[in-house]
Amino acid sequence: MERVSVSYGRHAALRDVTAEFPPGAVGLLGPNGAGKSTLIKTLLGLLPPGSGRMRVLGHDVRDAPLAIRARVGYMPESDAHIPGMNAVTFVGYCGELSGLPRADAMQRAHEVLFYVGLGEARYRNVETYSTGMKQRIKLAQALVHDPDLLFLDEPTNGMDPKGRDEMLALVRDIATNKGINLILSSHLLPDVEFACEHVVVIDKGAVATQGPIAALKGTTGRVFELRVKEGGEAGGARFADLLRAEGIECHGDDSEVMRVFVPESRGSQLLFQLAARHGVQVRHLRPSVPTLEDVFARAVGEKDGGA
């Protein structure tokens, strides 16, 4: 994608987005309303961009949307099905719509439904399915025509913990063992971290950061969890401000435990020295490892708020 902008009326949903999605599993991460779904719909050619260029699987989205859609599968965020059909008819019908012969579409519908764990429920009307089953059948209809690229929009929405784990295991299996490229859109950091190797972080319609997750996590230096005693000359929030003033990155959370990023060259002693200098008691200091959450927090600018 090169400098793609999309607007809903006067509201800019994507602003000058330039991003590259390498082969494999790529996470599209961002808070609700960041523009993730808009980006996917734009890549599918469902939303015309106001400006910019996009290429998917070697095709320009403006010139060959049908050629692209024949090779991609789309699992929408919201509940979606064809009314009045049971699961196997629905998935087979979707296969036929994607160009598969009728017999092949039905055979693949059975196979894909077994693959996503709906084999025993495949003759039930889709409208009677639970939320978790509806997520699975949306994945099945996206897979039935054996796409080269999958767009998964919030695939674990509304699923219980067990179902969520199974869905993520499926997503990872699709990307790693079945050789299908996928773009996983989610606001859930653990989902993206579990299933993807690359991430594109998007916030307020713009790309905040992108790259391999390992590389993005590795640039943060040494990480410590830090809790200081409130009150006195400098409370926790104020100490965080002092750390930032010293050039040390610091993210807070609701449990009053800060995640402090100390440059590789400097150790925990620096934190003790600063605490001593400002009369703050260090109550908890534990080495940690960089997570995608840190990457996300830094990218979307939570660090500016310090909370």
Judged on CB neighbours under 10 Å (0-12, 13-18, 19+), 301 is exposed
Question: C-alpha angle 86/88/91, rounded to 5°?
Answer: 105
Q: What is the DSSP letter of 202?
A: E
Assess 111 for contact with another protein (CB under 8 A): yes
Is residue 150 within 8 Å of residue 143, measured between CB atoms? yes
Assess 97 for contact with another protein (CB under 8 A): yes
Assess 96 for contact with another protein (CB under 8 A): yes
User: For another protein, which is the closer residue by CB, 195 or 299?
Assistant: 195
Separation of alpha carbons 139 and 275, rounded Å = 52
Q: State both tokens at 49.
A: 């961009």
Does the CA dihedral 137-142-143-145 come out positive or negative?
positive
Is residue 217 within 8 Å of residue 294, measured between CB atoms? yes
Query: Cβ 294 to another protein, closest distance in Å?
Result: 34
Assess 119 for contact with another protein (CB under 8 A): yes
Identity of the amino acid at 138? K
Reported residue count of the chain is 307
Assess 117 for contact with another protein (CB under 8 A): no
Q: How far are the Cα atoms of 9, 43, 183, 242, 289 from residue 73, in angstroms, in the given order? A: 28, 12, 10, 49, 35
Binding mask 60-89 for another protein (x = CB under 8 A): ------xx-xx-x-x-x-xxxxxxxx----
Query: Cβ 292 to another protein, closest distance in Å?
Result: 27
Q: In sequence order, what DSSP letters do the residues of 261-296 get, joined into one string?
A: EE-TT--THHHHHHHHHTT--EEEEEEE---HHHHH
Assess 44 for contact with another protein (CB under 8 A): yes
User: For another protein, which is the closer residue by CB, 93 or 239?
Assistant: 93
Query: Cβ 41 to another protein, closest distance in Å?
Result: 6
Binding mask 158-187 for another protein (x = CB under 8 A): ----------------x---xx--------
User: For another protein, which is the closer residue by CB, 30 or 92?
Assistant: 92
Assess 214 for contact with another protein (CB under 8 A): no
Query: Cβ 46 to another protein, closest distance in Å?
Result: 4
Of the listed pieces 8-16, 193-201, 203-211, 235-243, which binds another protein according to CB under 8 A? 8-16
Assess 109 for contact with another protein (CB under 8 A): no
Rg (CA), the chain: 23
Instruction: Give every CB contact of residue 73 below 8 A, 6+ residues apart in sequence.
Output: 141, 142, 143, 144, 145, 147, 149, 150, 151
Q: What is the dihedral of CA 237, 241, 244, 248, to 10 degrees?
A: -40
User: For another protein, which is the closer residue by CB, 107 or 219?
Assistant: 107
Is residue 242 within 8 Å of residue 235, measured between CB atoms? no
User: For another protein, which is the closer residue by CB, 15 or 238?
Assistant: 15
Beta bridge partners of 128: none
Of the listed pieces 111-119, 195-203, 208-216, 265-273, which binds another protein according to CB under 8 A? 111-119
Assess 57 for contact with another protein (CB under 8 A): no
Binding site for another protein (CB under 8 A): 8-11, 41, 44, 46-47, 66-67, 69-70, 72, 74, 76, 78-85, 93-94, 96-101, 104, 108, 110-112, 114-115, 119, 127, 141, 143, 145-146, 174, 178-179
